[in-house]
Amino acid sequence: MTLYPFSFTTKKQDAESMVDLFSLIKDYLVDQEDGIRCLITWYLNLVMEEEALLQAGAQRYERTDSRKASRNGYKPRTLLTTYGELELLKPQFREFHFQTQIIETYSRVEQSILSAVAESYLQGVSTRWVNKVMAALG
């Protein structure tokens, strides 16, 4: 799976971002399953990048008095979804831990899967059937 750049913070990057978006759409049209994984990965990385900008209080490499933290690269993060494993790049800071609203701290499984299993249990679906479904999901 290809990881695409995800920062839209400067004018220079706008043209590059449009090319990346075009290649994402092309990937989706060629192989929908892999394409949707790439689109979701790109979108979640974009959201985390914007959250990092807000938490840091400044753009990357920007010198300002309002800056709260300095960037310290990225930490690879795997998220298991209904579309398969997504390899995300979670921003890091030197001064404090990056907090994201899109992924819970120790979440490895998409919340919709957990909700579906809980709902099935509450409606009286047999545990054997739930085990079969969970085995199929991985």
pLDDT digits (tens, 9 = 90+) for 98-114: 777 777 655 655 566 56
Domain coverage including residue 129: 110-138
* pLDDT category of residue 54 using cuts at 50, 70 and 90: confident
Are 82 and 39 contained in the same domain? yes
Number of domains in the chain: 2
60: tokens are 């990357």
- Name the phi and psi angles at 117, rounded to 5: -65, -45
Mean pLDDT of 76-96: 84
Q: Is the pTM of this model over 0.85?
A: no
Q: What is the pLDDT of residue 130?
A: 64
13-44 pLDDT tens trace: 555 555 566 776 776 667 677 777 887 888 88
The answer to whether the beta carbons of residues 121 and 138 sit under 8 Å apart is no
Domain annotation covers residue 5: no
For residue 68, tell me if it sits in a domain.
yes
Q: Are residues 83 and 116 in the same domain?
A: no
Q: Tell whether 122 and 69 lie within a shared domain.
A: no
Residue 6 lies in a domain: no
Q: For residue 95, is it within any domain?
A: yes
Verify that 36 and 64 share a domain, yes or no: yes
